[in-house]
Structure 1
Amino acid sequence: MFRPLFALLLIAHLAAGQSAKNRIQLTHSESTKTVTVTVDGKPFTAYIYPGPAVLKKPVLYPILTAGGNPITRGWPLNPRPQERVDHPHHVGMWFNYGDVNGHDFWNNSTEIGPEHKGPFGTIVHTGVKSMKSGNGQAELTVTADWLDKDGKAMLQETTLYTFGASATERTIDRVTTLKALDKDVLFKDNKEGMIALRVARELEHPATKPEVFTDAKGVATAVPVLNNEGVTGRYVSSEGVVGDAVWGTRAKWVNLTGTINGEAVSVVMLDHAKNIGYPTYWHARGYGLFAANPMAPSIFSNGKEPAMNYSLPAGRSVTFRYRVVVASGNLTDKTIADRANAFGH
């Protein structure tokens, strides 16, 4: 269904006559359940909400650099050669959590492995509330319901995406407000969360040990030696932690650098000082999962910090704010720190 998505992005609004530099155009297609985001007629990303038969939550997919290279993994929607075929719930850029009133929203997919017992929650798109295209910046507001195993809504989500573009950068701000409906909602400490990207193979860390991969049908394959050709990823956090050691540490931001098709890339995720749990813990893995999770201090600290077990009373709301910067070239730590300060205060 979504294999033509790149083609849709490429042709969207080429005929609209937009000639302004860094003109960000949003185009909603209800028939394909897609809001495409282009910059001067070239693809940037798309908000897609195909529904639970395809994806158990809406996502941004794909996400491209200013040079036109995808920073997101293609599989399972649009597989590319040499990709890992694990974790079918890792698609594009998403926001969910592993234990919400006992429901697993994170691991839910159309191909749930036997290791995931449930019950599972599903996030269902309910509306495009507003769209505003513009030069250098555009805004999209969408809503969704977080449903329990019986299809009953426990949370109402409102998300504002703000897309930015310059000659060498793309930015995505995600501001998500969750409102508890008729019952209190408990986010129990769980490592699976919360805002996340599954990045392209080129941005993974080079593999140094044998791995076992499970395909979409649950078939496990042992791979003694991975082909690391073109795999160039490297995490660096605001606290100076590098590589796989970033996992389970707190930081205001993390920068993932690498090279895709000859284009040097920095993918930076920024936390916000108003978020609960700031500075967030990072659920970032060398195999390509790049996630920030502020809600599981006991898990990430191996019990050194008390559990948060965040409870949202019925009728109350909580807001999460994040920024993702996709830059052509390597951003310095100082540049990122300055931007983090500007974003977070």
Structure 2
Amino acid sequence: MDASGIPMIALALCLAAAAAGAGLEPRPVPRMQAVPQPYQQISFQRDGREVARYHFGKDLDRPFIFPVIGPSGRPLTRMGHPHDPESHGHHNSVWVSHSDVNGTDFWSNNRGGRIVHQRIERLDDGPDSAAVISHNNWVSTKEGKVLLKERRTTAVHALPGDELLLVVDIELSAEGADVTLGKTPFGFFAVRLAKTIGVHDGAGTVRNSEGGADEKGVFWKRAKWMDYSGAVADGVIEGITLLDHPSNPNHPSIFHVRDDGWMGASFTQDGPRNLKLGEPLKLRYGLWVHDGLPDPKAIEARWGAFARLPAPEPPKPKGN
């Protein structure tokens, strides 16, 4: 064939390709997406707008979620204590840690314990939720060994009115030998609220499922849920409810709560617990990110829906 036929062949190929694709419809774009970002971060997005971000860089003392964005588009969490940022640099917005794992402190920074990211198992997008499954090693830097292996599922569910439900599933396995979690109020799951939401700085409100209010009424008390709400702008009230799942071994959890804007579900406040080799500890916590100051009955209904959520998918066998 001479060169003069080449343009006709190219045109024919283009027409054939166009005809083949003419009947294809674009696939639906997931409303909820977990989008990888630079510097080992994952942006959870709803309709293209970020609602939370997961940080897991290996140079961090622990992975964490920051920020958590409320329905108004404003952040509801912060990094560090509003009046003591130096000694409370470990307050990482929303985080998982514990201050006594075989005597090693994973709660504070530079105290001998680090929760080190290992790998991302998978990312999921969908019409109603997005999720990341990650693996971490709880490393004693003084001993130079791994004490716990963790598989963590962080899921963000879309709710009506731009509200959200964050669900964090934690599976901890002792590595090499049994592990003792010491008696402490610090661990496993905690939230540092924005300064203006705090009772002390912003005249915010703390309530629990048992009718307690503010620090004096909820401190070290057991509850199914703890709500912290306050102003994020003039005339705009939003908040976060920390939900304790009924499958957790210490449910209803003891809560460690302060008027300065932080709350945590304390797993070992009432005494030490042992993790035996080959017997993983599974915990589930939720965060309802909501508008306004919800009625306790509405919070109870939200807790009930959270309690009925299906369990997270188990790891798939290797090779599949």
TM bin, normalised by shorter chain, reads: 0.7 to 0.9
**Alignment coverage as a number of residue pairs:** 278
Q: 1:19 to 1:330 in 2, by over 3 A?
A: farther
3-state SS of 1:283 partner: strand
Pick aligned residue for 2:71 from 49, 66, 72: 66
User: Does the CA contact (< 8 Å) of 2:80 and 2:93 recur in 1?
Assistant: no
Matches within 5 A, 1:19-168: 23-29=31-37, 31-52=38-59, 55-75=60-80, 85-86=85-86, 87-109=88-110, 118=111, 120-149=112-141, 150-166=143-159, 167-168=161-162
3-state SS of 1:287 partner: coil
Does residue 183 of structure 1 match 2:183?
Answer: no
Q: What is residue 163 of structure 2 aligned with on the other side?
A: 169
Residue 141 of structure 1 aligns with an amino acid whose one-letter code is I
User: Does the CA contact (< 8 Å) of 1:279 and 1:294 recur in 2?
Assistant: no
Pick aligned residue for 1:336 from 293, 299, 313: 299
3-state SS of 2:52 partner: strand
Pick aligned residue for 1:275 from 248, 259, 272: 248
**Per-residue Cα deviation, 1:91-125 (whole angstroms, up to 9, x for no partner):** 1110111100000111125xxxxxxxx4x211001
**Per-residue Cα deviation, 1:189-238 (whole angstroms, up to 9, x for no partner):** 112112011111011112xxxxxxxxxxxxxxxxxxxxx4xx13211000
Aligned counterparts of 1:249 and 1:185: Cα–Cα separation in 2: 26
State the Cα distance separating 1:136 from its structure 2 match.
2.1
3-state SS of 1:250 partner: strand
Aligned counterparts of 1:58 and 1:68: Cα–Cα separation in 2: 23
Structure (1/2) with the larger strand percentage? 2
Residue 126 of structure 1 aligns with an amino acid whose one-letter code is Q
User: Does the CA contact (< 8 Å) of 1:56 and 1:124 recur in 2?
Assistant: yes
Structure 1: unaligned runs, 5 residues or longer:
1-16, 77-81, 110-117, 207-227, 298-306
Q: What is residue 327 of structure 1 aligned with on the other side?
A: 290
State the Cα distance separating 1:314 from its structure 2 match.
1.5
Aligned counterparts of 1:32 and 1:39: Cα–Cα separation in 2: 21
Aligned counterparts of 1:237 and 1:285: Cα–Cα separation in 2: 13
**Per-residue Cα deviation, 1:288-331 (whole angstroms, up to 9, x for no partner):** 2211112111xxxxxxxxx3x11011222010001100111222
Aligned counterparts of 1:204 and 1:162: Cα–Cα separation in 2: 26
Aligned counterparts of 2:180 and 2:137: Cα–Cα separation in 1: 16
RMSD: 2.0
Q: What is residue 318 of structure 2 aligned with on the other side?
A: none
Q: What is residue 280 of structure 2 aligned with on the other side?
A: 317
Q: Which has the larger radius of gyration?
A: 2
Aligned counterparts of 1:191 and 1:315: Cα–Cα separation in 2: 26
Aligned counterparts of 1:68 and 1:123: Cα–Cα separation in 2: 30
User: Does the CA contact (< 8 Å) of 1:193 and 1:283 recur in 2?
Assistant: no
Q: Percent identity?
A: 27
Q: What is residue 196 of structure 1 aligned with on the other side?
A: 190
Residue 274 of structure 2 aligns with an amino acid whose one-letter code is S
3-state SS of 2:103 partner: coil
**Per-residue Cα deviation, 1:266-303 (whole angstroms, up to 9, x for no partner):** 31011011101110000111112211112111xxxxxx
State the Cα distance separating 1:168 from its structure 2 match.
2.9
